Chain A
Amino acid sequence: MNVTTRPTPGDPALLDSAAIRAEFPILGETVRGKPLVFLDSAASAMKPRAVIAAMTQTMETQYANVHRGLHWMSERTTEAYEGTRDAVARLINAPDRAEIVFTRNSTEAINLVAHSYGRGMLRPGQAVVISAMEHHSNIVPWQMLRDAHGIELRVAAITDAGELDLSALEALLADGRVGLVSITHMSNVLGSYTPAQRIAALAHAHGARVLFDGSQAVVHRRIDVQALDADFYAFTGHKLYGPTGIGVLWGRRELLEAMPPFLGGGDMISSVSYERSTWAAVPHKFEAGTPAIIEAIGLSAAVGFVERIGYAAIAAHEARLTDHALARLSAIEGVHVLGRAQDRGGVVSFTLDGAHAHDVATLLDRQGIAVRAGHHCAEPLMRRLGIDSTARASFGIYTTHAEIDTLAEALLRVREFFA
């Protein structure tokens, strides 16, 4: 096992890599006869034992539908499910647990806002601003809103370094018609963080609300929705070492209360007659149907896992990995790393002269190295960068320096292969 850093007295920010890796059973697997080098955590992260155990234990010992049974199993399961709301509220410092809405993933969380806030509270003629480095899930819902509801969609430019252009954003806000700014908190392609606090201040100064797509950011740094002064914050469980099928929308209570529901059905009503139904209080108004109970309980375990390690240690570990990766990859002739944002996290996209990203990914895969290749669900960003696709290495708490060295050495061979 590769141990890159050890806890040193006086430096709590160093992770015990071996101990952390031991928490992830899958990291012991081999791929094509080679030890798995998993550098695709930004697409979805591996799961620690704590998450696997919590979900298994739920199914084996304590499971029933939530919020409806008057029996012991249902009550205990409801407690566990609702406990996740407390865990998530604590994680992102939400002032009120009722502001945590469970969704399937980030995509559904953003669609919820586009539907309920967009159609319910924005008026035709108002505008929504996104940035030029959004994932498709923070583009398409707004296009749908634009087409269905007469909302203008504006795109804030990014700089050549891959940072949000704040003056461009400000110019888009100037006419006061923008009702919502919906921007990523960290790019899944360039790794750039966006200055969320300043974006929120700008938006609010111009009368707009702000949604952050925290799908990537929440994995790497502590999120404090109050300090950011956000209005909505979305993320997805499976990138945060949790299971698939569970995501989170946080929203200010007064906004959530004013918004009409998203989906209709069971669990989201207060009373139903054929003439009219009334809605349950938030957050249940937005959680129609039987929720992802087991997955929510898994997410709770993931949050606990992350908190036990601590964001200070996670951020420090990943900053070192990223620096190491940037240094190793840029030293390879023909490799071009995309973006040079000052503030960036553990995602490094690159191209290799003379080789298409897919061919690079396939050759790396043959060496047991998993990277993503393609447009990363960000086609407009690819066009902005003037490329079709990139290979992307992304890191998690279990990633080691040695794995990045393996990637760099493998890339040398790939370059040779296509030379």
Chain B
Amino acid sequence: MFEDLRDLYQDVILDHGRQPRHGARLAAYDVTAEGDNPMCGDRVRVFARHDADGRIGAAGFEARGCAISIASADLMAETVTGHTDDEVRALAGRFRDMAMTGAVPEDDVAMARLAPLAGVHEYPSRVKCATLAWHALLAALDGKGESGRDR
């Protein structure tokens, strides 16, 4: 009955939106930043911890928002783990392009995983939901958010 909505709300999004795997503050993190979407009041805070080799060892987030923003934050946390900051910046750029155009780049394993979110391109007001967590993560990596360590 909602066949035409499956392009936007694929099972992956419904699943990760409902039960995010990384939807918590990390016990230890070295960068964090908050992003918000003033238009709708959605808010996300992302946390990341770098390993000794400079790669992201873990990422997590706390968010209030719609299924798309939560699912996107969750898939992002999964995707960026194991990558350097520069690689994350490149991933973010490719993801934003995909969210805006709907075109999934070929032979791009990371984007293939995030492809269920490409459907937002048809809903200009929802593209920001999908990119919110990425903006926050880039701000965190650029040192624009404060960093901290719990306990």
Known: A356-B67, A417-B9. A363 touches B2 (CB 8 A): yes
Min Cβ gap B117→A in Å is 14
Known: A374-B41, A375-B40, A375-B41. A358 touches B66 (CB 8 A): yes
| Given A359-B68, A374-B40: A413 touches B2 (CB 8 Å cut-off) | yes
Residues in A with CB closer than 8 Å to B1 are: 413
Pairwise interchain contact B68-A373, C-beta atoms closer than 8 A: no
| B66 near A359: Cβ-Cβ < 8 Å | yes
Alpha-carbon separation in the docked complex, A389 to B36 (Å): 14
| Complex: A374 Cα to B66 Cα, angstroms | 10
> Cβ of B9: which chain A residues have Cβ within 8 Å of it?
359, 363, 417
Task: Check B52 for interface membership: any CB of A closer than 8 A.
Answer: no
Asked if A382 and B41 sit within 8 Å, CB to CB, the answer is yes
Q: Which residue of A lies closest to B13 (CB)?
A: A359
How many residues of A are in contact with the other chain, CB < 8 A?
20
B39 interface hit (Cβ, 8 Å): yes
Whether the pair B5, A366 counts as a contact (CB closer than 8 A) is yes
Instruction: State how many angstroms separate the Cβ of A343 from the closest Cβ of chain B.
Output: 28
CB contact under 8 A between A389 and B40, given known A356-B67, A417-B2: yes
| Nearest Cβ on chain A to B10's Cβ, whole angstroms | 12
A358, A362, A363, A418 interface centre (most CB from chain B within 10 Å):
A358
For A416, give the chain B residue with the smallest CB separation. B1
Interface residues of B in 54-96 (CB under 8 A from A): 64-68
Task: Verify A359–B67 contact, CB threshold 8 A.
Answer: yes
CB of A49, distance to nearest CB on chain B (Å): 30
Assembled-state Cα–Cα distance A122/B1 (Å): 60
Distance (whole angstroms) from the CB of B19 to the closest CB of chain A: 12
Q: Could you write out 14 A-B pairs with CB less than 8 Å apart?
A: A356-B66, A358-B42, A358-B65, A358-B129, A359-B9, A359-B66, A362-B126, A366-B2, A366-B4, A374-B40, A388-B41, A417-B2, A417-B9, A418-B67
What are the 7 closest A-B residue pairs judged by CB atoms, nearest first?
A356-B66, A358-B66, A375-B41, A374-B40, A359-B66, A359-B67, A388-B41
